[in-house]
Amino acid sequence: MSFTKMSVIFVFVQVTIFTAIILAFSWFEKAVPGELIVSFFAWFGLEGGALALLKIDSRKQKNSTEVAALKKENTALKKKLAEVKKAVGGEQLKIDA
């Protein structure tokens, strides 16, 4: 399992546990500072946002690599097509694309 998947699972588990504890405290009428709740969810919100940005960046890099490979393959195919045209008789051969 990748690091990002483990991180996402960790974030969800921590948020669920924290929420359950806060609900238990409120059930027994114990005071929980609002700043603690806001800070906790802000931290894990930032963590989730950072993971999302990392995922988007890795997908962009993967796509750019695939596009470069396709362009290289396309160039090679054009060269082979030119060789075939030359061998057959030049421009007399018309290929519908």
Give a yes or no: residue 19 inside a domain.
yes
Number of separate domains in the chain: 1
Output the pLDDT for position 20.
93
> Does residue 17 surpass a pLDDT of 90?
yes
Read off the DSSP letter of residue 90.
Answer: G
Instruction: Give the per-residue pLDDT at 96.
Output: 57
User: Is 96 domain-assigned?
Assistant: no
Range of the domain at 21: 3-90
93 Cβ neighbours under 8 A, 6+ residues apart = 84, 85
In a domain, 52, yes or no: yes
pLDDT, tens only, 37-96: 899 889 888 888 888 888 888 888 877 777 777 788 888 888 888 888 888 776 555 555
Residue 76 covered by a domain: yes
Which pLDDT belongs to residue 90?
61
Say if 33 falls within a structural domain.
yes
Residue 30 pLDDT class (50, 70, 90 cuts): confident
- 95 is a domain residue: no
The pLDDT value given to residue 64: 78
| Contact indicator for 73, 30 with CB cutoff of 8 Å | no
Name, in order, each residue with C-beta under 8 angstroms of 4's C-beta and a sequence gap of 6 or more. Answer: 51, 54, 55
Is position 97 within any domain? no
